[in-house]
Amino acid sequence: MKTKNPIVLIVLFSLGWAFMYADRNILSPVMSIIQTDWGLNKGELGLISTVFFIAYAFMQIPAGFLADRFGRLKVLVIGYILFGIGTILSGFAPSLMIFLLVRIITGLGEGMYYGPQYAISSSTISKKYRGISSALINSGMAIGISLGFIASSYFTFTLKKDWQFSFFFFGILTVIVAALIAFFIKDDYKPIKNSQAVSKNQRISIKALFNKNHIITYILIFCSLYGFFSMITWLPYYLQTERGIEGSKTGIISSLVPWAAIPGAILFGYLSDRIKNKKGIVICLALLGTACQFIVPYTENFSLMIAGLVIYGLIGKLALDPVLIAYIADNTHPSMYSRAYSIFNFAGMTSSIFAPYITGYLADITGHIEIGFYLSGVLLLIGGIAFLFTDSPLKKTMITPNDPTHPFQHSDKIAHS
């Protein structure tokens, strides 16, 4: 039953992202309840997300190397099962400290997904559909965010379930998704067995993955994800405590961001497949995202705030991601995809370590969460300006079999030895 059919890959990998983002966002609507139950301040609430993302970011680069060494699909499935078990255990945690430990386990499991997943999809799906396929896969993130927000709000505030119920519910479904991926996805990649070849391949790959284009892209994804995770983590709480919106409605309002992101991601993914120079798209998205990061907290008009959230969804992180994923692929040899995407995601997810806690910390100091959103806008502007200094993508198609000096040529020979 295993297959390399692009439609099957897109559906299952999108489903994988849906449950990963649902797990991350079932926490946000119930943060006020957890704060009351465990007597936490805003900084401690932010710490819950921070420790998860520390584990998630930490696992990115090791997951890429493990995937190249032992098999991409194998590493992905093992990590996804660990993530499901961690989600279930989160519901049993009796205190903050135990909850933090379990969230670390969950983060390690989720951290084994990104690099192997995009390595498999980028190697299997045709280059001319790379942007649109990444956008469709990424749509699972949007669905998951909305699903997490709405389900957690509905279970807790409408059905009057304990806040832990959502973790049990999604944890069980996550393990089922892991089984579906293991059963249906086929990956022909052959792990490198020769230890000497692995060592040399890693050394060459690390150098090739830190040229100017890669480094600037890592900076931009850091800035983009900082604002995204600051908003996603704190938006429901912000709507409840500073906008006076009922808890049962905050999940629906917050879900406007991910739902708007689906058509935006598909549109810009489609455009990135047809526009050779992606610099203009990337900079435009960064500047528009900066404007929205300022409008949402600044305006006192409810309708304008909603418009800002919708526009941010259309042009924000989830729309920018497919373009940057395609850009990384354009600048990277296929034998390095697992490591390239792992480093790329590590750079981005490092921001998620700081964003929830810093936003909460600044809110404790100033008494307002808005300052965290403004900081996010400034960082995204910096990332967009930095991208102006990127060069044209490397022309991998010009590499010849007789060019022993090119780093891609060396790594390609080693990877298939």
pLDDT given at position 155: 92
Q: Which residue has the higher pLDDT, 10 or 337?
A: 10
Of 415, 369, 384, which Cα lies nearest the Cα of 289?
Answer: 384
Query: Average per-residue pLDDT in the chain?
Result: 83
pLDDT, one tens digit per residue, over 122-150 is 888 887 787 788 889 988 988 888 888 88
Predicted model pTM: 0.72
Q: Which residue has the higher pLDDT, 130 or 76?
A: 76
CA distance 137 to 324: 14
The answer on pLDDT for 411 being more than 60 is no
Q: Please state, for a pLDDT cut of 90, what percent of the chain lies above it.
A: 29
The answer on pLDDT for 42 being more than 90 is no
pLDDT, one tens digit per residue, over 200-259 is 544 555 778 888 999 999 999 999 999 888 887 788 788 887 787 776 677 678 778 778
Burial of residue 182 (CB within 10 Å: 0-12, 13-18, 19+) is middle
Indicate the pLDDT class of residue 44, thresholds 50, 70 and 90: confident
The answer on pLDDT for 405 being more than 70 is no
Q: In a 3-state reduction of DSSP, which class is residue 57? A: helix
pLDDT given at position 315: 86
Domain boundaries along the sequence of the chain: 6-415
CA distance 307 to 89: 38
Half-sphere exposure of residue 403: CA atoms within 13 angstroms, side-chain side: 11
Half-sphere exposure of residue 53: CA atoms within 13 angstroms, side-chain side: 26
Mean pLDDT of 382-389: 93
pLDDT given at position 129: 81
Mean pLDDT of 169-180: 95
398 membership: H or E segment, kind and range: none
pLDDT given at position 86: 95
CA distance 251 to 153: 6
CA distance 359 to 377: 13
307 membership: H or E segment, kind and range: helix 302-315
Indicate the pLDDT class of residue 27, thresholds 50, 70 and 90: confident
What region, left, alpha or beta, does residue 244 occupy, with left being phi > 0 and alpha being psi -120 to 50 degrees?
A: left
CA distance 142 to 122: 20
The answer on pLDDT for 101 being more than 50 is yes
Q: Which residue has the higher pLDDT, 405 or 136?
A: 136
Q: Which residue has the higher pLDDT, 181 or 313?
A: 181
Q: How many other C-beta atoms can be found within 10 angstroms of the C-beta atom of residue 165?
A: 18
Return the CATH architecture of domain 6-415. Answer: Up-down Bundle (1.20)
pLDDT given at position 196: 47
Q: How many other C-beta atoms can be found within 10 angstroms of the C-beta atom of residue 267?
A: 16
pLDDT given at position 193: 59
First-to-last alpha carbon distance for the chain, in angstroms, is: 29
pLDDT given at position 32: 82
pLDDT, one tens digit per residue, over 253-288 is 877 877 888 888 888 888 877 877 788 889 999 999
Hey, what are 204's tokens?
């060459």
Indicate the pLDDT class of residue 15, thresholds 50, 70 and 90: very high
Indicate the pLDDT class of residue 394, thresholds 50, 70 and 90: low
pLDDT given at position 79: 96
Mean pLDDT of 159-179: 94
Indicate the pLDDT class of residue 358, thresholds 50, 70 and 90: confident
The answer on pLDDT for 199 being more than 80 is no
